[in-house]
Amino acid sequence: GPARPPGPAPAAPPPEPPPRRRTRALALLGALLAAATAAAIRFAPATPRPSALKTLGTDGLFLFSSLDTDGDMYISPEEFKPIAEKLTGSTPEASYEEEELPPDPSEETLTIEARFQPLLPETMTKSKDGFLGVSRLTLSGLRNWTTAASPRAVFAARHFQPFLPPPGQELGKPWWIIPSELSVFTGYLSNNRFYPPPPKGKEVIIHRLLSMFHPRPFVKTRFAPQGAVACLTAISDFYYTVMFRIHAEFQLSEPPDFPFWFSPAQFTGHIILSKDATHVRDFRLFVPNHRSLNVDMEWLYGASESSNMEVDIGYIPQMELEATGPSVPSMILDEDGSVIDSHLPSGEPLQFLFEEIKWQQELSWEEAARHLEVAMYPFKKVSYLPFTEAFDRAKAENKLVHSILLWGALDDQSCSGRTLRETVLESSPILTLLNESFISTWSLVKELEELQSNQENPAHQKLAGLHLEKYSFPVEMMVCLPNGTVVHHINANYFLDITSMKPEEIESNLFSFSPTFEDPSTATYMQFLKEGLRRGLPLL
C-alpha cells in the first residue's frame, strides 16, 4: 500500500490483564495482528501472480487467495469478514432482503410447504461400531435437526424470475442460474466456516428456499461443481416448464463447536411459470431418495484448515419443498379498481379457475435430467448404465465392462470420487475410448452388498460377489467380462500415488507414462484401460 506519514508517538501501554486471562489475551492479540497483517497486504489489480508469490511465498499466497474471493488482489472488509468471525466467534446479522424488490400489494403470491424427515443415523458407516470415537457434541447439530426451520413460507411470484431462461433459449439446452466458479485447478473453498456469505442477485431466491430447511445454507458448495443449472422441458405461448439442479450444502454447527458440513447429493425439481414471471403454476424442489445413500457429511476436529477431518455418508428419506397450489393475487380488484373481499360471505376463500396450458414443445424428465447431469459433470458424456443392465448390454454387444465401485455416488455431491471424475474421466481421450470400446457402469458398495445378499437372483448375486472380492476402500476401477469376471483393476489411492510419481520412479511398466499425453493421470488411466482390453478381448 502507499507509504503513510509517521504517526504520533505511541500511547502509554494499557494495564496488563489479570494473570489468568493473560494467555488468552496474548493469543487473541497475536491472531488479530496476523489477520490484520494479511488483510493489509494489497497489490495493484494488474500485479502478476509471480510477483505476489515472491512477496508472500506459497503458503502466504494461498492464504491471501482464499480470502480474495473476487481475485482483485485486494482484501476488502467483506472478504476479511470470515477472519473477523473466526477470531471474535460472532457474526453480524446479514440482511438478505437487500437484493429483493419492495413488496407490491397487487402481485401474486405463492405458498410453499417444507417436508422434512431427518437423516437416519443407522445408515451412517460409523453407526456400525456405535460411533466409536465420535462425541455426541460433534453430532449434536445433526441429531437436533429433526424438523424444517420454516414449515411454510409465502413468496411473491416475481421472486422466481431467476428461473426464467435467457432470450431464445432452446428446449433441453442447459443454462446456468448460478455458475460454478470452482474446478480441479482452482481447488476448493475453506472448510473452516460457520456462516454463509450474504446471497446476491439470483442467489437470493435459492438461499430463501433452502433456508426453509435450515438457517445456514451455503448456496455455493466448497467443492466443484457448484451452482445451479436449468433447462427448458416445455414451452407454450405464455408459459415455461423449467427443470433445475442445485448443488448446495448446510453448516450444522456454530461456535464454539467445530464445523459440521451436511451436503445432500443434489436438489432437483421443476417450476412452471409465466414468461413474465407474474404467475407460478407449480413448483417443487427435492433431494432424490431413490439411492440407498444420498448425503455426504464432513466435520473438523480443530479450528484450522489443517485440522483432522472425519467423513461419513448417510441417507435422508425426505427433504422437499412444494407449492400448495398456483400463485394467486394478494388482493382482488374489480373493473373500477376497487378491492374485493377475497372471502365469500361464508368465510371460505374465493376459488380461482386456471386455464389449461397447451404445450407446443415438450421434453421428457429423463432426457432433461441427463442434459443437466452432463452440464454439471462432463464425464457423463459417457453413458453409465445401472449395474446389472450394463452387463446385459455388454453381452448383447460383446464388449468389456468398465466398472467403478465406490463408497459414495460418482455423479452427485455425496461422492467419494471427486478427483477421478474431475480429471481423467472427463478427459477427451478417455471419453473417446470408453464410448468406443466399453460399456460403463458405477455402483455403490452398499447396493452391491444388498444385491449379493439377495437370494432371488443367483446371477446378480454372482456379479456382485465378483466385484466385491476386488474392492478396496474408497474406489476401485475394474475391467470385466460380460459374465462379471474381473480381468484388470486398480484402486484409486494407488492410482493417485503412481500419477504423482516421476516416470523413472515407477518400477512396473504396467502403468508407464505415454509420451502422447501431457497429463500423467490421463496417460495412466489410458494405460489401465488398454491393459484391460489386452487381457479381456481374447476372452470375449
DSSP letters of 309-365? EEEEEEB-SEEEEEESSS-EESSEE-TTSPEEPSB-TTSPBPPP--PPP--SEE--H
Residues 154 and 206 in one domain: yes
Q: Helix (H, G, I), strand (E, B), or coil: what is residue 246?
A: strand
Residues 197 and 146 in one domain: yes
Residues 336 and 422 in one domain: no
Residues 186 and 242 in one domain: yes
**Quick one: pLDDT at residue 505?**
52
Residues 367 and 466 in one domain: no
Residue 201 CB neighbour total at 10 angstroms? 10
Which structural domain range is residue 179 located in? 108-344+352-372
**HSE-up of residue 173 (Cα within 13 Å, Cβ side):** 7
**Quick one: pLDDT at residue 367?**
96
**Quick one: pLDDT at residue 90?**
45
Q: Would residue 169 count as lying in a domain? A: yes
What CA–CA distance (Å, rounded) separates 19 from 422? 53
Residues 305 and 386 in one domain: no
Q: Would residue 85 count as lying in a domain? A: no
Residues 357 and 398 in one domain: no
What CA–CA distance (Å, rounded) separates 114 from 331? 25
Residues 187 and 257 in one domain: yes
**Quick one: pLDDT at residue 450?**
93
Residues 253 and 365 in one domain: yes
Q: Would residue 165 count as lying in a domain? A: yes
What CA–CA distance (Å, rounded) separates 521 from 394? 26
What CA–CA distance (Å, rounded) separates 344 from 4? 73
Residues 264 and 383 in one domain: no
**Quick one: pLDDT at residue 115?**
98
- Which cell numbers in the block locate residue 130? 456405535
Residues 276 and 221 in one domain: yes
Q: Would residue 507 count as lying in a domain? A: no
What CA–CA distance (Å, rounded) separates 507 from 512? 9
**Quick one: pLDDT at residue 4?**
37
Could you tell me whether strands 339-340 and 332-333 are parallel, antiparallel, or unpaired per DSSP bridges? antiparallel
CATH of the domain at 525: 3.40.30.10
pLDDT along the chain (540 residues), means of 10: 38 40 38 41 50 76 70 80 56 44 75 97 86 84 96 95 96 95 76 92 96 97 93 97 98 92 97 97 97 92 75 95 93 72 66 90 96 94 96 97 92 74 88 96 93 92 96 94 96 84 51 54 92 96
Q: Would residue 96 count as lying in a domain? A: no
**Quick one: pLDDT at residue 336?**
74
Q: Which helix (H) or strand (E) holds 201?
A: none
- Which cell numbers in the block locate residue 212? 426453509
Q: Provide the domain count of the chain.
A: 2
**Quick one: pLDDT at residue 393?**
97
Q: Would residue 473 count as lying in a domain? A: yes
Residues 228 and 242 in one domain: yes
